[in-house]
Structure 1
Amino acid sequence: MKAMNSFLGQRRMLTLLAILTLFAGAGCTNERGGVAMPSDSASSSATSTTPGSAPADVFGSLKACNVLDKALEGQGFPAAVIDRAGGDNGCDTLKSGFGTMSLDLHPNLGIDDLNAAKSKQFPGEVNDRRSIQVRDGIGSRGNCDIALEVTKTSRAIVGVTLTTGTTEEACAFVYSIAKKVEPQLPKGN
């Protein structure tokens, strides 16, 4: 009888583990190569703060993919897809024969926090908004990013990596897209 109770206990434990595994995966979606990522339907996107908590996300419900898709209208790019490699609110889109466009919204990193060699950073403005252009930031030709200041501690980064082409061509194209992204961003302090 003791062996039977031990067997039933193990069976119950295995059943419980199987059920917990199912529930643990229920709040995730598969994105990019089958990596489980938190689902947008999870109610963790509160935008208000309580004393002692982290500041509210300046981007609120603004989604990088929606902003990028609108900025790229008429350019022949497919719909942008979520890519969290550059942050929790990022996406990119690949146009065959042209290259990859990306947009990352960083609520807790300002443009002064860029992680690129100072020799590759060029300050400027996009539609009267402070910006920093980063040329060949990933170490290859045909790459250009523009970081747009939202607040002193938040930024948006618009980037392009061309399949073929020069850095000058990449920077001219990403600037034209940054001019369309900028009006969609919150006005900073």
Structure 2
Amino acid sequence: MTLRSHRGSLLAPIAVLAISASACSSELAGSAVPQAAAIKSSTQPADVFRNLSACDLLEPTTTAKDFASPVEETYESDNGCGTRKYGYGSVTLYLVPEAGIDQLSAGQGTKIPTKVGERDAVEIPGDAGKQACTVAIAVTPNARMTASTGLNKGTNEEACALSREIATAAEPKLPRGN
């Protein structure tokens, strides 16, 4: 009985070593990468915004208009920023590396094709109801920047004017897509 117990305890570590060794090949030059990690990294798109911060793009326009200091947000992507102005409203700017303007929902509004600089864009008056607007700029077919405004009082057009201003100021700093 002791022999069986001892033999079973040797098989488990040997099986673990055999399985671990089979995940990597010693025939190829370079460092070993587990198969699952290699598949994941090859299928994920590169983040075109990796060196750009949404707050750096939003801050110059909103500070000049007496908004509070922008703070990071992660509603639409991991690279977002928002700020408020008491009694006026709020604005956000998001850099979305995994979805282009075609994937953007119009919400309660309607997408209107436009241009910001030389880039394709859409304007969505009323996307979040009255007194709201989003302007989204295509950076690549699968990446976008969005500037959204929600006013406490006013019109969709007034909200769109501020979203356009933010988008226009940020556009030259955006990477050039493929």
- Common topology (TM > 0.5): yes
Instruction: Select 2:112's aligned residue among 115, 119, 122.
Output: 122
Aligned to 2:71: 81
Question: Residue 172 in 1 paired to residue 136 in 2?
Answer: no
Any gaps of 5 or more consecutive residues in structure 2?
Answer: 1-38
The percentage of counterpart residues that share the same residue type is 36
Q: Give the superposition deviation at 1:186.
A: 0.7
Counterparts in 2 of 1:112 and 1:118: CA distance versus 1, 3 Å: farther
Q: Give the superposition deviation at 1:114.
A: 1.0
TM-score scaled by length of structure 1: 0.69
User: Take 1:169 and 1:92, find their aligned partners in 2: how far apart are those partners?
Assistant: 18
Instruction: Select 1:142's aligned residue among 96, 121, 131.
Output: 131
**Aligned partner letter, 2:74:** R
| Equivalent runs, 1:151-166 vs 2, <5 Å | 151-166=140-155
**Aligned partner letter, 2:147:** V
**Aligned partner letter, 2:103:** D
SS in 2 for 1:58: coil
SS in 2 for 1:69: helix
**Aligned partner letter, 1:79:** S
SS in 2 for 1:59: coil
User: Take 1:141 and 1:51, find their aligned partners in 2: how far apart are those partners?
Assistant: 42
**Aligned partner letter, 1:56:** A
* Alignment deviations for residues 82-134 of structure 1 (CA, whole Å, 9 cap, x no partner): 11112111110001111101001100100011122596110000112110001
Q: Which has the larger radius of gyration?
A: 2
Q: Give the superposition deviation at 1:156.
A: 0.5
**Aligned partner letter, 2:49:** F
Aligned to 1:71: 61
TM-score scaled by length of structure 2: 0.73
Aligned to 2:172: 183
Instruction: Select 2:100's aligned residue among 104, 107, 110.
Output: 110
Cα contact 2:131–2:152 (8 A) shared by 1? yes
Any gaps of 5 or more consecutive residues in structure 1?
Answer: 1-48
* Alignment deviations for residues 41-89 of structure 1 (CA, whole Å, 9 cap, x no partner): xxxxxxxx99724121000121111111123341111221011112111
SS in 1 for 2:99: coil
Counterparts in 2 of 1:51 and 1:164: CA distance versus 1, 3 Å: closer
**Aligned partner letter, 1:162:** L
Q: Give the superposition deviation at 1:136.
A: 0.9
